[in-house]
Copies of this chain bind each other. A is one copy, B any other.
């Protein structure tokens, strides 16, 4: 247990008071310990990090009964305070859910190392070799909702990719998360790479530590994400909104349209990758009625523009202008009819949140134009936006979904937790030789296949 966390009783507080100033700030101390651990993990080998992740899975397996008991206590309190049924079900950790999550953790261990990959290799001049190599980000602060599997997946992802994590889960899952993180910290060689933040105040304090924390990943309501973005100079990765569109093109295969729209809206309406707006091309307007009928049968309230209501008036409510671009998060769907592909693209780029947007079309040129012109993290052809997810993409797991364009975009797995380092190896080369009147020219020869690790054959 860190000194900071023991500092609760009167005696401990006196002991801390005698320490130098900087130790009096428990959050800064956590972050400093995390940075030191991250610097050590940056230099650790792949096999050390793999062993750490496998040790995490083993430790959680051994601690399963303690973790599940803690979860029972969290659930009992949540029931007593009247938490809604869907939230209770997210909070509940069953032996089966734990087993599946640990399978996922072990699959991360099997995946290719995201670090040390040579992205670019160039011979600048004889004996002067440049490499661009993937390295960890450093210290990542993750604030997430009540699902306790996130407090397993996120540290597994960060540890595997050589990062330290400062974690803050939902308050409802407090006992579960403590049991999990305690087991994780006891299992790994760098326990300071996995730390819990206590309460909202510590999260706020972390947002000020821009010299120590490299990235903040907030997961939760749009308001919370925007609050974090406005409160910190640390880069923030995440999404404030998920306003996904499905556009039914004139060439859409009618057999694909209804199942895809139903899945997009009803599979999990509160998810960020659920559809919020349906656009039907005027040339496919005959599909509006069967779509709206199927949606009504599934309990979806359709809010249609005037021009869309002309095609299924009695089934749809009139839409207000603000319904387009709204994130309903429930069984509500906005509907409009558009005049062709160009209008659909402009509509999506104007009203969407750049998360994931779909075209249903058999015409490949129309699909190509939609894919090229829509400015979103995911652009899908004939597939439900619900596939926008790190596990479904095959990334193993995700720390979040990014709608920002900088760094990582879409579901963020291990690659999104890396940055690059430029490694230049010379033989005493000086830059002055390559400028001025008698400048030596650069060669700039690409060296496909050359890896920085070739420079250090004894490296681990």
Q: Which stretch from A72-80, A85-93, A147-155, A423-431 is at the chain B interface? A: A423-431
Q: Is A185 an interface residue (CB 8 A)?
A: no
**Does the CB pair B382–A427 fall under 8 Å?**
yes
**Does the CB pair A430–B124 fall under 8 Å?**
no
For chain A, residues 397 to 425, give those with C-beta under 8 angstroms from any C-beta of chain B: 404-407, 409-411, 419-425
For chain A, residues 130 to 153, give those with C-beta under 8 angstroms from any C-beta of chain B: 130, 132, 135, 137-138
**Does the CB pair B430–A394 fall under 8 Å?**
no
Q: A371-B423, A423-B371 are in contact. Are A392 and B434 (CB under 8 A)?
A: yes
Which of under 10, 10 to 19, 20 to 34, or 35 or more describes the interface residues of A? 35 or more
Q: A138-B405, A392-B434, A425-B380 are in contact. Are A373 and B39 (CB under 8 A)?
A: yes
A295 shortest CB reach to chain B, Å:
14
Q: Give the complex CA separation of A135 and B382 in angstroms.
A: 21
Q: Give the complex CA separation of A130 and B379 in angstroms.
A: 10
Closest-by-CB residue of B relative to A252 is B428
- Counted per complex, copies of this chain come to 2
Q: Is A384 an interface residue (CB 8 A)?
A: yes
Q: Is A235 an interface residue (CB 8 A)?
A: yes
**Does the CB pair A393–B373 fall under 8 Å?**
no
Q: Give the complex CA separation of A349 and B422 in angstroms.
A: 16
**Does the CB pair B382–A42 fall under 8 Å?**
no
Q: Give the complex CA separation of A21 and B122 in angstroms.
A: 52
B residues less than 8 Å from A382 (CB atoms): 425-429
Q: A404-B235, A423-B379, A456-B367 are in contact. Are A255 and B431 (CB under 8 A)?
A: no
Q: Is A267 an interface residue (CB 8 A)?
A: yes
B residues less than 8 Å from A407 (CB atoms): 406-407, 419
Contact of A379 among B229, B255, B419, B421 (CB under 8 A): B421
Closest-by-CB residue of B relative to A430 is B263
**Does the CB pair A384–B130 fall under 8 Å?**
no
Contact of A406 among B376, B419, B431, B444 (CB under 8 A): B419
**Does the CB pair A267–B376 fall under 8 Å?**
no
**Does the CB pair A410–B420 fall under 8 Å?**
yes
Q: A406-B235, A409-B420, A434-B392 are in contact. Are A369 and B43 (CB under 8 A)?
A: yes
Report A's interface with B, CB cutoff 8 A.
39, 42-43, 122, 124, 128, 130, 132, 135, 137-138, 214-215, 229-230, 233, 235, 237, 253, 255-256, 259-260, 262-263, 267, 349, 356, 360, 364-365, 367-369, 371-373, 375-384, 386-388, 392-394, 404-407, 409-411, 419-432, 434, 442, 444, 452, 455-456, 458-459
Please, could you name 7 A-B residue pairs with CB atoms under 8 Å apart, sorted by A?
A43-B373, A124-B394, A256-B428, A260-B429, A381-B424, A383-B426, A384-B429
Known: A372-B459, A380-B426. 5 other contacts (CB 8 A): A42-B372, A378-B421, A382-B426, A382-B428, A384-B426
